[in-house]
Amino acid sequence: MINLETPRKFRAFVQQANQVADNFLRSNSRKYDLAEHAYPKELDLLASLIDGMGDSGEGQGAGAAGVRRDDTDSDKGKIKNGANMSSVLSVIEMCWGDVGLLLSMPRQGLGNSAIASVADDEQLERFKGTWAAMAITEPSFGSDSAAITTTAVKDGDAYILNGEKIFVTSGERADSVVVWATLDKSLGRAAIKSFLVPKSLPGIRVERLEHKLGIRSSDTAVIVLDNCRVPAENLLGNPEIDTKGGFAGAMATFDNTRPLVAGMAVGCARAALEDTRKLLEGAGVVIDYDRPVQSQSYAAATFISMEADYEAALLLTLEAAWLADNRKPNSMEASMAKAKAGRAGNQITLRCVELASTLGYSENELVEKWARDSKILDIFEGTQQIQQLIVARRLLGLTSSELR
């Protein structure tokens, strides 16, 4: 049974992550929000620190990249908190500091999480140390990953990739890109595979960088693949097309990364709630948990309601990570966590702007920035609507063709 307290073995680590988020990320938050596309050099030292923590075992799952489902004979039958739980707890603290800067951190992106989720042991060792961006979305589609048109054609000991990817987080800064492509469009979802594409290869180029509403410190690129020849061994996981398994192999990546994005939303929402509480208390607003909300001020009642939404999002996120660590199916729970946390995080930060009044709308406080940052967390890795659709399919026992 899941324990609702932070596991004892992670408490010191979580406290350390909070201190890092405060001293490194939040202290530079406004600076790089205003300096869009400027590389945050302060993150190099922090990334090296997180790499060291992971290598030493002191920070199992430190950062956003430490997701993987490992299971040994000695683990069977045991309840455990592993890399998925540790990564979610770490991400929550880091995004309490700054979402955009976490996404900018070398070797801690969602591309690295994809590698950790589906790569085999040999690939994990070979790609160790790479900084991988994640390239899924294309100009012709957003959340429907099965609509991928980027092609991968086998040619001897390599695949030839052609296509265009948009909204690639860390697309310019990363040294490689996890590209999702189809081996055979006629076979539908089953033929979609992911490839680790080093940016040093001929045929891959960054076309442009996007200007964005939020997470402005994180570069977001358009990437074009023009007859890019990728070694066959860079196809992540199993190269065989399993028409019976369908999209399951590719979706395994999302089952592990969606709780991380939910954790990002939870961390951002917590930051907004904490600062808004201070502003409200400074203005004389009393938040009393021993009185019914209807007998309190509008501001106090609203704040208590937001805290309830925050707690629900947090618990769903922890449940999804815990299930992954314990080798249990978590596809529905991962989508539930992403849907709840993405929506609640955005609603909470926007409401905090309202409650903080003029301070919430100005650059004197970070509340307005968190409101801008939080919207993307309700969109990428599958929009709110897509998550609800996945949950509905799971609950009703329907396929994607039966419920669209």
Q: Per residue in 96-129, pLDDT tens?
A: 999 999 999 998 878 888 898 889 999 999 999 9
Is 337 within 8 Å of 388 (Cβ atoms)?
Answer: no
Q: Is residue 60 part of a domain?
A: yes
Q: Single out the residue of 116, 78, 88 nearest to residue 10, CA to CA.
A: 88
The one catalytic residue among 122, 125, 381, 402: 381
Q: Is residue 160 part of a domain?
A: yes
Q: Quick count: other Cβ atoms within 10 Å of Cβ 292?
A: 8
Q: Is residue 41 part of a domain?
A: yes
pLDDT of 130 > 80? The answer is yes
122 plus 136 within the same structural domain: no
From residue 244, alpha-carbon distances to 137, 247, 314, 397 in Å are 25, 9, 35, 17
Is 390 within 8 Å of 331 (Cβ atoms)?
Answer: yes
Tell me the C-alpha distance between 163 and 161, whole Å.
7
Phi, psi for 205 (deg, rounded to 5): -145, 150
Task: Report residue 351's pLDDT band, with 50, 70 and 90 as the boundaries.
Answer: very high
Is 345 within 8 Å of 313 (Cβ atoms)?
Answer: yes
Tell me the C-alpha distance between 277 and 283, whole Å.
10
Q: Is there a catalytic annotation at residue 381?
A: yes
Please give the pLDDT value at position 63.
Answer: 56
90 plus 141 within the same structural domain: no
**Residue keyed to tokens 């160790």:** 128
Q: Per residue in 151-167, pLDDT tens?
A: 999 999 999 999 999 99
User: Which H or E run includes 151?
Assistant: strand 151-155
Residue 134: both structure tokens together: 């994640």
Q: Is residue 2 part of a domain?
A: no
- The range of the structural domain enclosing residue 386 comes to 248-396
Total residues belonging to the chain? 404
Please give the pLDDT value at position 50.
Answer: 79
Number of domains within the chain: 3
**Residue keyed to tokens 């400074």:** 282
Mean pLDDT of 237-250: 70
Q: Which residue would you say has higher pLDDT here, 309 or 186?
A: 309
Please give the pLDDT value at position 73.
Answer: 47
Task: Report residue 66's pLDDT band, with 50, 70 and 90 as the boundaries.
Answer: low
137 plus 112 within the same structural domain: no
The pTM (predicted TM-score) of the whole model is 0.93
State the average pLDDT for the chain: 90
